[in-house]
Structures are given as C-alpha cells and as structure tokens.
C-alpha cells in the first residue's frame, strides 16, 4: 500500500543551481523523496533542458516535465552581484545546495563553500562535475559522454564488430547524480551528530568507474581486458536475447545449473542438462555460441507471449524486451504503479515513471511536473528570502529576476 506522506525528506530545503541532467537529476531524487527543491534559473531562458526532447507537444519539453518535477522555479541572474546576493540569502536559509557548474564558477560568483558555510555552518554543498573539484582535469568542461568514455563504460558497450557504443540514455550524468544524492543523504545523517555540513564531490567519470565491477583488478592481477560482447557476457550461457516467431525478442537467463535443467525440460530436450557438453557452467561457457543457437532454434518456434508463459511455468527467468507501450500494458507495472500520471497545465495528464525506491511508511511522490519558468519566484523571495514587495519589484525592474 502506497504511503500518503510527503516523503522522508520533508522539511529539508534544497537550492538547485545548474542545468541539464547531472545536477538536476540529483535535485529530482531529493524532491521525489519530499525535500523542497528551489531551482534557480537564468531569467528569460531557464534551464536548456526545457528545450530538449525529440518531441515537444505544444512547445512543452516532456523531458523537462520529468527532471523538473517536484521543483519550484525561481529566476535570478547569478552573474550579477544582486542576483548572487539573492542566492546567498536563500542558501543561508536552506539545508542543501546542488550544483553542476564547472569547478570554480561558484567561487567566482562569491559562493564558494567557505563563504556559504560561514553564514550557514550546517550547509551541505553537493557538487557534480565531469572530473571532480580537484586534480589536473578539474577545470575541463565535463560532459556525461566523456565521463562514460574515461570511466570505462563506453569501451565495453556494443558489438565487438563495431566501435564502442553508447547506452541509449545519459547514463554518466544520471549515475553522477545518483552518487551525489547518496553522498548528500550521508552528509545529512552525519550532520545530526556534528551539526556541521560538508562538500559532496561527485565526478561523472568516477561515478561510471564506480559501477564497473572488477575490471581494474582483472587487468592488474590477471591481465584480462574485458571487451565488447554485444548481448552476452562471455562464458555465461545461456544468457542472451533470443528471437520469437512473431518477430519479437525475449531475454532468457538460464546459466545456473538448476535453471538450465529447467530450460532444457521446457525445450523438450531434458538430456541437454546431463550432456557433458553443457552439464556444467564452464562447459556451457566454452560452447556458448553453439548453445545459443540451440536455444534460438527453440524460441523462434513460439510467439513471445506463449514462450514467456511456457518458460515461467518451468521457473526459467525470462522477459520480453520492453518498449514504453509494453510497460503501459503490463499488469505488474500497473499493479505497482510503476508509471503514474500527473496533471500538466498545458498537456493534461502526463505519464512518467514513479518515484523509486519504495518506502513503506514515508514514501515519495510526484507532486507536480516540471514548473513554468519563474512560476515560484515571488512566492520564494517573499516566504524564504523575506524580501519586501518593493525590493522584489526593484529586482524585476532591473532584470535581476
């Protein structure tokens, strides 16, 4: 049963500065968990992500509706002394700042951590960048694609007959954001003991490196370099994508001895489980291509749905290769509310992924989609900044907001 709470981070205030994905996705995570996220954007233009996406129905970015969700938009020109003063005021009354500018930018704007923490000793500053806040590469422009390349991911993605490929999403940026969110939550917990904040330094290349399993010790100790292997893991079989009679694809993962025996039974060839060529994990790995061909000859005789039902009846891990249309009709997605809809002022009900992971008592929620540019400027400057109306009008008149 879904909780009706505002989320476990209710009561925390986050100032988000930065744009696109690496920083804002961290803000999205914190907002999904109930924090008040105030996004500072450039007047007139806002976050460039507002213009991103292959389709923009009625001029609205669907990408922004997801990454900008649960946030309040305040426009302020951070490149002016007046705008910087507004930001420092809001930050002095907040718990967390998330930013993904090039290292040194905040310092040039008079918002280095030393200065911010002097006004707010408990402040946590989450900094997401391509190469981190220190080291010889720290001043380089950092993009997710470069971090994916240098962190080791690009080299192992794709078919061995082609150059290194990319994953179809901005995985380097989102990984750095996830690690930034984890570090931020760790700093929030530590603050309950010390009363002090700290800097969370999340580098894209290190976030990618962090998920690369054992590639480093494999190379150093064994001299083994992982290579691109397409849809398989070398020497792990059968575990691959297989064709179906209706032109679809299913993924079957039956490399464990007991599971392979169940797959062999489902295929009508139970003797494969005791055949010396395939009876052990090592033997199946040595004959991976041959075994995959046998499994493919079996799967292509069945439609995807019938094949899935047959294998599930034999407790063989199997799953269709889903696209959005499959997700929207899947009974499990529906039962768990993995995809929800949220009202949008222009587009009506917009479907998007729910908040994850699930918490049993204080679950997160999607409260609204990405807001209009400057939608909350007056509200936040009045309630959080405690600026007078005359001052706000003056800010607006000179282009500060």
Residue bearing tokens 């061995």: 160
Report the pLDDT value the prediction gives residue 142, as an integer from 0 to 100: 87
pLDDT digits (tens, 9 = 90+) for 268-278: 999 999 999 99
Superfamily of domain 13-211+342-397: Crotonobetainyl-coa:carnitine coa-transferase; domain 1 (3.40.50.10540)
**Known catalytic membership, residue 246:** no
* Upper half-sphere CA count for residue 104 (Cβ side, 13 Å): 9
Residue bearing tokens 């199997």: 318
List the domain boundaries for the chain.
Answer: 13-211+342-397, 239-327
Report the pLDDT value the prediction gives residue 4, as an integer from 0 to 100: 46
User: Among the options 173, 201, 292, 363, which is catalytic?
Assistant: 173
pLDDT digits (tens, 9 = 90+) for 316-360: 999 999 999 999 999 999 999 999 999 999 999 999 999 999 999
CATH fold group of domain 239-327: formyl-coa transferase, domain 3 (3.30.1540)
Residue bearing tokens 């209710």: 10
Report the pLDDT value the prediction gives residue 401, as an integer from 0 to 100: 97
Task: Report the candidate in 63, 57, 53 with the shortest Cα–Cα distance to residue 25.
Answer: 63
Q: In the chain, which stretches have pLDDT less than 50?
A: 1-4
Q: Where are the beta strands (DSSP E) in 281-347?
A: 318-320, 339-344
For the entire predicted model, the pTM comes to 0.94
What sign results for the dihedral spanned by CA atoms 132, 136, 140, 143? negative
- Can you tell me the distance from the alpha carbon of 266 to that of 310, in angstroms, rounded to the nearest whole number? 7
- Can you tell me the distance from the alpha carbon of 56 to that of 365, in angstroms, rounded to the nearest whole number? 25
Query: What phi and psi, each to the nearest 5 degrees, are found at residue 226?
Result: -65, 140
User: Are the C-beta atoms of residues 212 and 219 closer than 8 Å to each other?
Assistant: no
Say if strands 339-344 and 348-353 run parallel, antiparallel, or are unpaired. antiparallel
**H-run or E-run covering 88:** helix 81-92
């Amino acid at each position: 049963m879904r909780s009706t709470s505002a989320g476990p981070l209710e009561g925390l205030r986050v100032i988000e500065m930065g744009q696109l994905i690496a920083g804002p996705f961290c803000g999205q995570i914190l907002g999904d968990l109930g924090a008040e996220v105030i996004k500072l954007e450039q007047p007139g233009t806002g976050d460039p992500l507002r213009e991103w996406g292959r389709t923009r129905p009625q001029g609205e970015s669907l990408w922004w509706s997801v990454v900008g969700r649960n946030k309040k938009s305040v426009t302020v020109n951070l490149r002016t002394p007046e705008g910087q003063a507004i930001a420092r005021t809001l930050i002095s009354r907040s718990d967390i700042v998330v930013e993904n500018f090039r290292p040194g930018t905040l310092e040039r704007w008079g918002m280095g951590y030393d200065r911010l923490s002097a006004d707010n000793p408990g402040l946590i500053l989450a900094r997401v960048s391509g190469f981190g806040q220190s080291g010889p590469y720290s001043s380089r422009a950092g993009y997710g694609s470069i971090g994916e390349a240098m962190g080791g991911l690009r080299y192992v993605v794709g078919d061995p007959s082609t150059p290194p490929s990319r994953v179809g999403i901005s995985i380097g940026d989102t990984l750095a954001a996830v690690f930034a969110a984890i570090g931020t939550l760790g700093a929030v917990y530590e603050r309950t003991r010390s009363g002090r904040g700290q800097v969370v330094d999340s580098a894209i290349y290190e976030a990618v490196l962090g998920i690369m399993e054992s590639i480093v010790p494999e190379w150093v100790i064994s001299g083994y370099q992982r290579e691109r292997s397409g849809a398989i893991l070398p020497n792990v079989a059968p575990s691959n994508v297989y064709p179906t009679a209706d032109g679809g694809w299913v993924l079957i993962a039956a490399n464990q001895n007991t599971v392979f025996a169940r797959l062999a039974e489902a295929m009508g060839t139970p003797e494969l489980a005791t055949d010396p060529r395939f009876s052990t994990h090592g033997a199946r790995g040595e004959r991976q291509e041959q075994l995959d061909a046998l499994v493919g000859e079996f799967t292509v005789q069945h439609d995807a749905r019938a094949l899935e039902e047959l294998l599930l009846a034999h407790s063989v891990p199997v799953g269709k290769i889903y696209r959005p249309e499959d997700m929207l009709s899947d009974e499990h997605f529906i039962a768990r509310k993995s995809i929800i809809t949220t009202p949008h002022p222009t587009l009506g009900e917009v479907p998007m992924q729910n908040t994850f992971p699930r918490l049993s008592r204080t679950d997160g929620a999607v409260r609204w989609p990405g807001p209009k540019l400057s939608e909350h400027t007056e509200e936040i400057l009045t309630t959080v900044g405690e600026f007078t109306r005359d001052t706000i009008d003056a800010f607006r008149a000179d282009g500060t907001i």
